[in-house]
Amino acid sequence: MADKPNVVIDPATLPVHEGSDYPAPFDQPVAARQRRALGDAAGLNQFGVNLLHLPPGCASSQRHWHHREEELVYVLEGELVLVTDAGEQVLTPGVAAGFPAGNGDGHHLINRGDTTAVCLEVGSRVADDETDYSDIDMRVAVVDGRQRFVRKNGTPY
């Protein structure tokens, strides 16, 4: 196996991915979300890392949980509210939160402050992962070998 080179990344040089590919109207709470894919830029295949900027009033995602992927967030700047089945918890710089695969407890982050919050998102890359969204009629299911947004009854968006 050939050695892969180490990669040094300047996040400011990476493209910004704004919003999400959620179907309407579920895309609105995350419309101002900005991600830079650090893991992709480094050529990582086993896990992904995003530098996430959430302006005031913006959510990181719809509240969700993964069947096979694990996630971790680490707050760098600002203040974020973590919402789970247990309620709400404020996350400040230097605090991390982890989400094991398959636990059924949906989560997301909301910036309720007045400045942009910044965090790292780290997650395993599982091609056949499925995702359930706790508060809305949506899930990600593998259909014809690809992940697709569907309603909870399986009909596509």
Domain membership of residue 27 (yes or no) is: yes
Nearest to 99 by CA among 139, 49, 133, 65: 65
Domain membership of residue 10 (yes or no) is: no
Q: What does the pLDDT look like over 8-53, one tens digit per residue?
A: 999 999 999 999 999 999 999 999 999 999 999 999 999 999 999 9
Q: Which residue segment(s) compose the domain that 32 sits in?
A: 20-150
Quote the pLDDT of residue 3: 73
Quote the pLDDT of residue 15: 98
CATH number, domain containing residue 78: 2.60.120.10
Query: In this structure, are residues 104 and 67 in contact, taking their beta carbons and an 8 Å threshold?
Result: no
Quote the pLDDT of residue 2: 60
Q: Rounded to a whole number, what is the distance in angstroms from the first to the last CA of the chain?
A: 42
Domain membership of residue 83 (yes or no) is: yes
- Placement of tokens 């710089």 in the chain: 93
Domain membership of residue 141 (yes or no) is: yes
Domain membership of residue 95 (yes or no) is: yes
Rounded to whole angstroms, how far apart are CA atoms 4 and 31? 36
Sheet holding 87-91, edge to edge: 87-91, 80-84, 108-110
Quote the pLDDT of residue 125: 94
Mean pLDDT by 10-residue block, N- to C-terminus, for the chain (157 residues)? 80 97 97 98 96 98 98 98 98 98 97 98 94 97 92 95
Domain membership of residue 15 (yes or no) is: no
Domain membership of residue 12 (yes or no) is: no
SS3 for the chain, per residue? CCCCCCCCCCHHHCCCEECCCCCCCCCHHHCCCEEEEHHHHCCCCCEEEEEEEECCCCECCCCEEECCCCEEEEEEECCEEEEECCEEEEECCCCEEEECCCCCCCEEEECCCCCCEEEEEEEECCCCCCEEECCCCCEEEEECCEEEEECCCCCEC
Quote the pLDDT of residue 152: 96
Other beta carbons within 10 Å of 42: 15
Nearest to 38 by CA among 11, 17, 61: 11
* pTM metric for this prediction: 0.93
